[in-house]
Structure 1
């Protein structure tokens, strides 16, 4: 790569965005619980964010072609900051759903820009390492966001102003890079052949399942612990443990996937996830269960992504990346709303019963895969 310093600068910018997003994703359900929103409404606000992710993923190529990679990223950060401050205007369901929708669009576009820059500039030999470093940076930013949450102001407006400062830093760093992405002649909907491509199907299903699980965790886990009587700091600590487990598991899980095969590793992870859900359902060995849950849920996506990408040619990788984000987002969009409704109707424990059912489906799918 001509400008070798661009990659670490890109990751630094990503770090600021991820810290902001991580803190906001945990704080929003806590604000809504405090204002006595129902679990169903909290789940729908979470789904509106993931609906924005879906729209942003589909439109990202159009934005990149029109404004180029760095300015598209810059405008996305500005939208993120404005929408977060917008949350302070009124505390009602529809306003928060709309603002979270715009935040979702902004986040999805930044992810497409970053992942596409990595995939286009990396070689066959370096691409896997760059993606591993990217995901590790993303999860470390997520952990930092949870750890720093106790130092963020609790007032919605001032919280939004801190987010705006982080977005300003992200913009400053992205403008120091020299990334350029090729413009596509076709519509962004040319990802459909990637979604229908049979050899990549299990990888794409894995991306969708990862979206269902992670989306539900971010949208509903803080509310789950809050309903158990935990303080905001205790909720943040549990989320730190969950995500940090995923960070630590990244490199070993990906090494095992390369050594023993992606199918075997995903199968073992799904079984461990079912065990973790069982422990949480019966409320025993809570710390061990959260460590197992984080280590498995957060490593399904990168392994599934590598599986799907290994089935296509280099010139199709960016389209496959968009297809993976799309399926991941669809899972994130549907699951929180459905699981929240079940939890509201039955009990909070159904968060983990739902996870166990999803894991069981993936186990059966992987066992049937030749």
Structure 2
């Protein structure tokens, strides 16, 4: 890379965005519970954020072509800040759906910018390492967001002002980088060949499942603990344990996937996730179960991402990246609303019953495919 210092500066900017997003994702369900919104409404507000993710993913390349990478990122941060402040003006179900939708668009565009910068400007020999560092930074930012949550103001409007300050820092750092992404042709969103690519299909399925699980965790787990009578600080501590487990598991899980095969590691992870869900349903060793859940759920996406990318040529990697984000977002969009509806009709434990069913389905798919391990050679 011509400007080697741009990568750490990019990650620093990402850190500010991720801290903001993490704190907001936990605080939104808590605000909604406090204002007596139903679980169904909380799930729909969560889904509106992921609907924004979907729209942002689809139009990200158009924005990048029109405004260039750094300016697109800057405008996304401004939208994030304005929408967060907007939450403070009305505790209204429909207005919160709208503002969370805009926040979702902003976040998806920033992720496409960052991942495209890494994939297109990083050397091929270090690309995997850079993506691992990127994901580790993202999850560390998520942990920091949870840890700092107790220091954020509880008032929605003042909370929005703190987020605005963090977004200002993110913009400052992105403008110090020298990333330039090549302009793409009109058919830049030609991802159907990626989705229909048979060798990468199970990798993309893993991305959908990771989206379903992580989206539901962010949207519903804080509400789950709040309904159990936990304080905001206790909820944040459980979220820290969950996400920190995912951070610690990143490097070992990806190393095992490279050494022993991605399909085999995903199968073991799905089995461990199923065990963790059963433990949580019956309230057995809750802390251990949350550690297992975090370590498995947060590593399914990067391993599935590596699997899908290893099945396509270099020139198709960005299109595959968009396809992965799209499928991941579709999972995140659908699952919180459906699972919240089930929890509303049945009881809170059905959050983990739903997770158990999803993990069991993925186990069956992986066993069915066991004859072909996902280790095709990377085309160049």
Give the TM-score normalised by the residue count of structure 1: 1.00
> Does structure 2 retain, via aligned residues, the 8 Å contact 1:47–1:337?
yes
State how 1:190-205 maps to structure 2 within 5 Å. Answer: 190-205=190-205
> Displacement of 1:8 after TM fit?
0.2
> Does structure 1 retain, via aligned residues, the 8 Å contact 2:278–2:356?
yes
What are the Cα deviations for residues 194-224 of structure 1, in whole angstroms up to 9, with x where unaligned? 1111111000000000000000000000000
Q: How far apart are the structure 1 equivalents of 2:344 and 2:150? A: 28
Is 1:5 the counterpart of 2:5? The answer is: yes
Q: Which residue of 2 aligns with 1:319?
A: 319
> Does structure 2 retain, via aligned residues, the 8 Å contact 1:58–1:188?
no
> Does structure 2 retain, via aligned residues, the 8 Å contact 1:87–1:96?
yes
Q: Which residue of 2 aligns with 1:228?
A: 228
State how 1:351-370 maps to structure 2 within 5 Å. Answer: 351-369=351-369, 370=371
Give the TM-score normalised by the residue count of structure 2: 0.97
Q: Which residue of 1 aligns with 2:300?
A: 300
Count of aligned positions: 370
> Displacement of 1:157 after TM fit?
0.3
Q: Which residue of 2 aligns with 1:88?
A: 88
Q: How far apart are the structure 1 equivalents of 2:3 and 2:171? A: 18
Q: Which residue of 1 aligns with 2:333?
A: 333
Q: Which residue of 2 aligns with 1:266?
A: 266
> Displacement of 1:57 after TM fit?
0.1
What are the Cα deviations for residues 91-143 of structure 1, in whole angstroms up to 9, with x where unaligned? 01000000000000000000000000000012221000000000000000000
> Displacement of 1:235 after TM fit?
0.1
State how 1:150-229 maps to structure 2 within 5 Å. Answer: 150-229=150-229
Q: How far apart are the structure 2 equivalents of 1:294 and 1:175? A: 34
Q: How far apart are the structure 2 equivalents of 1:177 and 1:223? A: 39
| Structure 1 stretches lacking a partner, 5+ long | none
Q: How far apart are the structure 1 equivalents of 2:50 and 2:149? A: 22
Give the match's secondary structure for 1:131: helix
| Structure 2 stretches lacking a partner, 5+ long | 372-380
Q: Which residue of 2 aligns with 1:72?
A: 72
> Does structure 1 retain, via aligned residues, the 8 Å contact 2:342–2:350?
yes
> Displacement of 1:89 after TM fit?
1.0
> Displacement of 1:189 after TM fit?
2.9
Q: Aligned Cα RMSD in Å? A: 0.5
Q: How far apart are the structure 2 equivalents of 1:168 and 1:113? A: 17
Give the match's secondary structure for 1:177: coil
> Displacement of 1:344 after TM fit?
0.1
Q: How far apart are the structure 2 equivalents of 1:27 and 1:130? A: 31
> Displacement of 1:186 after TM fit?
2.5
> Does structure 2 retain, via aligned residues, the 8 Å contact 1:59–1:188?
no
Q: Which residue of 2 aligns with 1:26?
A: 26
What are the Cα deviations for residues 236-273 of structure 1, in whole angstroms up to 9, with x where unaligned? 00000000000000000000000100000000000000
Q: How far apart are the structure 2 equivalents of 1:100 and 1:354? A: 24
Give the ranges of 4+ consecutive aligned residues of structure 1 lying more than 6 Å apart after TM superposition.
none
What are the Cα deviations for residues 176-198 of structure 1, in whole angstroms up to 9, with x where unaligned? 00001111112343011111111
> Displacement of 1:332 after TM fit?
0.1
Q: Which residue of 2 aligns with 1:279?
A: 279
Q: How far apart are the structure 2 equivalents of 1:226 and 1:188? A: 43
> Displacement of 1:350 after TM fit?
0.3
> Does structure 2 retain, via aligned residues, the 8 Å contact 1:52–1:103?
yes
> Does structure 1 retain, via aligned residues, the 8 Å contact 2:189–2:319?
no
> Does structure 2 retain, via aligned residues, the 8 Å contact 1:119–1:127?
yes
Q: Which residue of 1 aligns with 2:43?
A: 43
